[in-house]
Structure 1
Amino acid sequence: MMILILGNELDIHAAHLERVLTHMGISVAYWDTQCFPTQTQLTWCPNTQQGCLTLSTGQQLNLQDIRSVFWRNFSGVSVPMLADATQQHIAFRDATSTLRSIVQACPAHWVNSWQAYQFHQTKPLQLAMAQRLGVKIPATLISNSPAQIDEFVRSQHRSHTRVIFKPVCGGAHTQFVTPEHLEPERLQQALRLAPITIQAYIPGTNVRTYVVGESIYAAEIRSQAIDFRADAQAQLISIDLPEAIQQQCQAIAKAFFLEWTAIDWRVSPAGDYLFLEANPSPMFLHFEQQTGYPITQQLIELLCSTPEEKLRG
């Protein structure tokens, strides 16, 4: 059995899984996509559906011999700088097309799949899909229109609701909207660079749920910070998740093409769970250490099985 970890040993979660799998006697290697095409090689024949991957270590793997791939980090490609900008662009597109094609052609069991990764890149669609599933979401606007954003903020303030903002695709912490943010010149300048996601602030607590196959684990995250990721002192308290929310977790995972995920919720003082996002490659070690939930064990079982075996089991 060969298991690949998409990423490299510098990531503590990737390194943790590599150590556990190796200790179990399972062959495991890192596939760092950023090493392509300078240090790794990819070959694939559409006629036969056969291909191979040569890692930077020189190890050559037939795609058909890879049992599963754990999607930790996808770094794209790294093409050397060329003096000719046109040739640089062509090289980058060719390398990217090759990598994306082989990622999707590789018949291994992916945890998670390319489809899940692609869907995660469109977080506004995540919210819309969740609502179609009957899951509650905060009042939300994605826009780079100063007028639309100003009107959204005013409408929330009329109902005495504070407003937060964050990047559309992630990568920065959530902040409260202040009068300074809405200063016309500053707002216009910022929105010429990129749209933002703006939401009604939900008073209450944060809950994170992990879905690993059929298993669900949940903890309340106690923090005074608006974005708990910025709080090194945040406490994790194991909780029993309501049955209805467990069902929503499974429905979200299925609709988002996820075999494993961390789903973030905001729980209002009235006890309503509002969906924030589902991450296809979440950090989990701190959560596991604080709660004792067997996430590593569940991930190993998922990687060592095939979807068909899971169904039979």
Structure 2
Amino acid sequence: MHVALLGSEQDPQIQHIAQALRQRDIPFYIANTRYFGTTWTISYDPDFDDGLIHFSSSSLCDQPRVTFSNTKAAYWHEYLPGELPDEGVKDATLDGKAQDKRARAAEHYGWTEQERASTLLCWFSYADIKWVNPIDAVRSHQCKPYQSRIAGKLGAHIPYTFVGNAPEVATQFCNNMREVIYKPVRGGRTAQFVNKQPNMRPLLNTLLSERPVTFQKYIAGVNIRSYVLGNDVLSVQIDSSELDYRNDDNASVSVTIIPNDVQQLAVKICKALGMHWCAIDWRKSAKGKYFFLEANPSPYFLKVENDTGLDVTEKLVALLAKT
């Protein structure tokens, strides 16, 4: 029985997990979705509800093919879309015919990506594989307000939040808060402070005409990240002078212990979101109250592990190896 590693074979975290599995003599294969259709392919039979993953190189797997049913677990690190062909890149210097050609190429690329994703879904949704984490959990992370609603129902403290693109409501929300941050609804970019002004409406009209935004009351305090692995919780404090520590190359990480009730809440949130493991980001206020920010189903942990000595790897591999 194999363990699948979903991500780039060049990614340090994938290489690290692969080495840990190798040391335990657990067979594995690496599936980089960017090269789905070239270095590896899928054949699926809905009548038998099973499929095969075919590999073109022994560096990806010790066997030329592995069935879905012989994949006992899969580690979801990163989904990478296929490479956009040069013809799909816009160039204002090209004439009309060349631009049309590139537009058609980009449209074809979009359709091809949909077909690739739909085929991969046969694998991602295969019930007998223990996905760590499953695709539904990954999708829930793409809508952080949904995560907040689930966490709030379980008793987590949630910062006052507004999500949407209605400028009149956003203006009222920002005016009612002393300090407000804004960030993407889906994620992918770091949080920023709202530039409070006597008349917020023109600024918000411009911002929200482009895209919906998540606004939150700023919580003064410290950053806590809890790695939840089954029933185990490993936490670190991240000290930074920046609003979002991801912008701070000098951010420092140290092991911390969070209260038992917050640990239990972290496990409940992880399970309620359909995850086997995750990294929960909290904001700990000056009064010691923990505010839930998000639960990441495919977090980076290698640097934290190297900086602190926390053994996330051992517990993660144990999750993958456990039947």
> 1:181, 1:187 within 8 Å by CA — same for their partners in 2?
no
So what's the TM-score if we normalise by structure 2? Answer: 0.87
2:232 to 208, 215, 218: 215
Q: In the alignment, what sits opposite 1:310?
A: none
Q: In the alignment, what sits opposite 1:132?
A: 153
Pairwise CA distance, 1:148: 1.4
Q: In the alignment, what sits opposite 2:77?
A: 72
Equivalent runs, 1:1-313 vs 2, <5 Å = 1-57=1-57, 59-77=64-82, 84=104, 88-105=109-126, 107-156=128-177, 161-179=178-196, 184-306=201-323
Amino acid of the residue matched to residue 15 of structure 1? Q
Rounded to whole Å, the distance in 2 between the matches of 1:38 and 1:106 is 26
Rounded to whole Å, the distance in 2 between the matches of 1:79 and 1:232 is 31
Q: In the alignment, what sits opposite 1:309?
A: none
Rounded to whole Å, the distance in 2 between the matches of 1:278 and 1:182 is 35
Pairwise CA distance, 1:252: 0.3
Deviation per CA, 1:152-177: give whole Å up to 9, x if none: 01011xxxx21101111111111111
> 2:171, 2:201 within 8 Å by CA — same for their partners in 1?
no
Alignment RMSD: 2.2
> 1:37, 1:79 within 8 Å by CA — same for their partners in 2?
no
Give the unaligned 5+ runs of structure 1: 307-313
> SS at the partner of 2:125?
helix
Deviation per CA, 1:132-161: give whole Å up to 9, x if none: 1111100000111221111101011xxxx2
Give the unaligned 5+ runs of structure 2: 59-63, 89-100
> SS at the partner of 1:15?
helix
Judged with a 3 Å threshold, the aligned counterparts in structure 2 of structure 1 residues 224 and 89 are, in CA distance, closer, same or farther, namely closer
> 1:167, 1:197 within 8 Å by CA — same for their partners in 2?
yes
Amino acid of the residue matched to residue 143 of structure 2? T
Rounded to whole Å, the distance in 2 between the matches of 1:182 and 1:16 is 51
Judged with a 3 Å threshold, the aligned counterparts in structure 2 of structure 1 residues 172 and 91 are, in CA distance, closer, same or farther, namely closer
Judged with a 3 Å threshold, the aligned counterparts in structure 2 of structure 1 residues 298 and 154 are, in CA distance, closer, same or farther, namely same
Judged with a 3 Å threshold, the aligned counterparts in structure 2 of structure 1 residues 301 and 181 are, in CA distance, closer, same or farther, namely farther
Amino acid of the residue matched to residue 23 of structure 1? Q
State, as a whole percentage, how many aligned pairs show the same letter: 33
Amino acid of the residue matched to residue 108 of structure 1? I
Judged with a 3 Å threshold, the aligned counterparts in structure 2 of structure 1 residues 175 and 119 are, in CA distance, closer, same or farther, namely same
Judged with a 3 Å threshold, the aligned counterparts in structure 2 of structure 1 residues 162 and 79 are, in CA distance, closer, same or farther, namely closer
Rounded to whole Å, the distance in 1 between the matches of 2:109 and 2:188 is 27
Judged with a 3 Å threshold, the aligned counterparts in structure 2 of structure 1 residues 173 and 280 are, in CA distance, closer, same or farther, namely same
> 2:81, 2:113 within 8 Å by CA — same for their partners in 1?
no
Higher alpha-carbon deviation: 187-196 or 281-290: 187-196
Rounded to whole Å, the distance in 1 between the matches of 2:78 and 2:197 is 36
Pairwise CA distance, 1:88: 4.9
> SS at the partner of 2:25?
coil
